[in-house]
Amino acid sequence: MAWKRAKRYDDGRIKPNVFSGLVVTLLALVAIGYSVTALMLGDPAWFLPPEVDVPPERIIVYEAGTRHEIRPGDDMYEPLAQAIADALRTTIGFEETTGLSEISQQDAYERFVSVEVWYPKPLELHMRFRVAAPTRILLPITGRHVNKAFLGTEKGYTAGALVLDPTRTERIRTLLRAMGIQVDS
């Protein structure tokens, strides 16, 4: 037992060990930091990379008012779904103050190129910031809010936007170009 091997004074009392005290203090601080973060984010697995393991039930590409629906089995479904999942996995930030107004959402559908991804069940995105479990995600490709992703449910989009890595969204743009969609402003 550790306490029997501890160095003792002649009268039997255990001698203080500064190193052990520092280790215990450090472990306590790490545990408190983890617990506070997990409680604030509502996700005990916040430190894991975001995993998008649910395939979308449909992907809708909006091109200046024209709607292209892509479903499982279509030619572009797999590469586009994979590119979107990769972009979400490499999220580089979250902008709490960026929101999707009704006008911006309408413009995303009718004036610009946007990709809307619908999932059959809510995604559990483990992130370093509090986000809703979305069933749909809107990625503006041109126009306002490029390189952002808006998370939503059937009721609408929530406040805030994920900031995406531009190199990952470029892969989505390349696939859309292959579909004949004009994505260059």
Q: 0.95 cut: is pTM over it? A: no
What is the pLDDT, as a whole number, of residue 124? Answer: 78
- pLDDT digits over 32-61, tens only? 988 888 787 777 877 777 677 789 999 999
The band of 158, judged by pLDDT with boundaries at 50, 70 and 90, is: confident
My answer on whether 107 and 148 are in the same domain is yes
My answer on whether 152 and 75 are in the same domain is yes
What is the pLDDT, as a whole number, of residue 77? Answer: 95
What is the pLDDT, as a whole number, of residue 48? Answer: 73
Number of domains making up the chain: 2
My answer on whether 28 and 76 are in the same domain is no
DSSP 82-127: HHHHHHHHT--EEETT----HHHHHHHHHTSEEEEEE-SS------
Domain that holds residue 95: 58-178
My answer on whether 66 and 23 are in the same domain is no
My answer on whether 30 and 65 are in the same domain is no
My answer on whether 136 and 77 are in the same domain is yes
My answer on whether 103 and 71 are in the same domain is yes
What is the pLDDT, as a whole number, of residue 130? Answer: 67
DSSP 127-150: -SS-----SEEEEE-SSTTTTEEE
pLDDT reading at 21 higher than 90: no
